[in-house]
């Protein structure tokens, strides 16, 4: 169907094949058909997550599981690592859940560094930490392995990691890294329609959540575990998403995860090269750039080119592609272009032609 193709960093373009799977007829979610579907996906999900734990399906956006992690796992105080719009919001969500929370705030575009996390955790006040691996709002990828290595030093702290815009694009071996909750919404790196989140919990996180008095029902981690043991979900899931995810996982393992990671590295490099080659600089601190999108500076302050972002975006859209004009407080002073999901070097080449035509008309 003719439509404006999405190169915004979520939701991203959904393939015709994924939509076809999404539109299959409904089945009962307590029947053998659904159980078989879920069970068949489980080893693929576990491989993608790098975990021996069961991977759960939550019919919610990522925020459902992000809030759930707070409600299931924070009893003392949570340290929220904040470096952009989504990670800043997680601090706000923790407080709205009535939890004690402290922000480890760095400037947008700067990474969260393990030394600073270590310094805060050393106070002994915290029993949980939230980290966004790939801060989509500013195109920044945090040094997850270095931060996660602190789990060995602080075994009682729950390490909660959002990989919404990085899962399946870069390796995130959950168990090896010592992550307690790894979660992702499916409309970004996994390129499904929005409306489902996938996540897994360490044995430590499951044990801890049984002691959380106010964890509710819909997002109770123990309900997810109990049901997943029978290849089911606690409540009626989005069955359409389950079909779509199963099809996507087949695609991922036919391509091969290593090839998928390499594809994202190559397509992201094309975007970085386009940006710098066109006279722009990148927003995130050098060395911490995302692999799934670019967040490009629009400003002389950074020593780069200045354009009318709104006009540029419109000129791109007139050619059938949507890019993003900057998120929140960096709207207009940055713009973002995504290479997440099914994008290839060929589709990126087309995108770059479109971007160049738009630039030439400014
Ligand atoms: C988009 C995004 C979210 C929020 O996802 P929703 O689907 O809106 O709940 C959270 N974290 C990151 C890193 C994101 O990119």
Say if CB 335 and CB 271 are below 8 A apart: no
Give pLDDT tens digits for 186-229.
999 999 999 999 999 999 999 999 999 889 999 999 999 999 99
Which pLDDT score, from 0 to 100, does residue 300 have?
66
Rounded distance, CA 197 to CA 83, Å? 22
The CB of 139 under 6 Å from ligand 1? The reply is no
The CB of 63 under 6 Å from ligand 1? The reply is yes
Is 16-254 a domain of CATH 3.90.79.10? Answer: no
Rounded distance, CA 243 to CA 233, Å? 14
Residue nearest to atom 12 of ligand 1 (CA): 164
Is 5-12+257-360 a domain of CATH 3.90.1150.10? Answer: yes
Q: How confident is the model at residue 1 (pLDDT cuts 50, 70, 90)?
A: confident
Which pLDDT score, from 0 to 100, does residue 303 have?
74
Helix 345-360 / helix 309-317 crossing angle, nearest 10 deg = 120
Instruction: Output the CA 205–ligand 1 centroid distance in Å.
Output: 22
With residues binned 3-state (H G I as helix, E B as strand, rest as coil), the percentages for the chain, rounded to 5, are 45, 15, 40
Pocket test for ligand 1, best of 10, 12, 137, 340 (most atoms within 8 A of CB): 10
The CB of 86 under 6 Å from ligand 1? The reply is yes
The CB of 319 under 6 Å from ligand 1? The reply is no
The yes-or-no verdict on residue 27 having pLDDT over 80 is: yes
Instruction: Output the CA 86–ligand 1 centroid distance in Å.
Output: 7
Would you list the domain boundaries of the chain? Answer: 5-12+257-360, 16-254
DSSP strands (E only) in 63-127: 78-82, 101-105
Instruction: Please tell me whether residue 107 adopts helix, strand or coil conformation.
Output: coil
Instruction: Output the CA 76–ligand 1 centroid distance in Å.
Output: 25
If we measure between CA atoms, which residue out of 157, 139, 121 comes closest to residue 85? 139
Question: Which stretches within 199-256 are classed as H helix?
Answer: 203-209, 221-228, 239-255
Say if CB 161 and CB 144 are below 8 A apart: yes
Within 10 angstroms of residue 123's Cβ, the number of other Cβ atoms is 10
């Amino acid at each position: 169907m003719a439509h404006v193709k999405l190169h915004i960093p979520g939701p991203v373009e959904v393939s015709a094949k994924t939509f076809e799977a999404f539109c299959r007829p409904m089945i009962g979610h307590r029947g053998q058909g659904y159980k078989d579907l879920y069970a068949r996906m489980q080893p693929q999900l576990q491989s993608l997550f790098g975990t021996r734990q069961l991977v759960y399906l939550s019919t919610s956006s990522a925020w459902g599981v992000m809030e759930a992690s707070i409600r299931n796992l924070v009893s003392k105080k949570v340290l929220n690592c904040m470096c952009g719009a989504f990670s800043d919001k997680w601090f706000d969500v923790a407080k709205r859940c009535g939890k004690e929370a402290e922000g480890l705030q760095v400037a947008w575009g700067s990474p969260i560094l393990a030394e600073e996390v270590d310094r805060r955790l050393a106070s002994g006040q915290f029993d949980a930490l939230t980290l966004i691996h790939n801060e989509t709002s500013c195109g920044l990828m945090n040094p997850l392995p270095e931060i996660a290595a602190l789990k060995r030093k602080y075994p009682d702290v729950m390490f909660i990691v959002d990989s919404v815009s990085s899962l399946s694009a870069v390796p995130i071996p959950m168990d090896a890294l010592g992550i307690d909750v790894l979660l992702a919404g499916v409309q970004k790196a996994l390129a499904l329609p929005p409306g489902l989140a996938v996540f897994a919990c360490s044995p430590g996180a499951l044990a801890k959540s049984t002691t959380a008095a106010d964890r509710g029902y819909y997002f109770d981690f123990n309900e997810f575990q109990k049901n997943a043991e029978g290849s089911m979900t606690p409540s009626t899931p989005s069955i359409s998403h389950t079909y779509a995810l199963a099809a996507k996982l087949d695609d991922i393992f036919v391509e091969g995860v290593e090839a998928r990671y390499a594809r994202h590295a190559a397509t992201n490099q094309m975007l970085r090269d386009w940006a710098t080659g066109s006279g722009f600089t990148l927003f995130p601190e050098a060395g911490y750039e995302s692999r799934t999108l670019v967040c490009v500076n629009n400003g002389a302050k950074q020593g780069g080119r200045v354009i009318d972002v709104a006009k540029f975006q419109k000129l791109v859209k007139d050619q059938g592609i949507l890019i993003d004009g900057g998120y929140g407080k960096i709207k207009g002073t940055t713009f973002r272009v995504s290479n997440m999901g099914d994008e290839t070097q060929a589709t990126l080449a087309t995108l770059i032609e479109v971007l160049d035509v738009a630039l030439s008309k400014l």
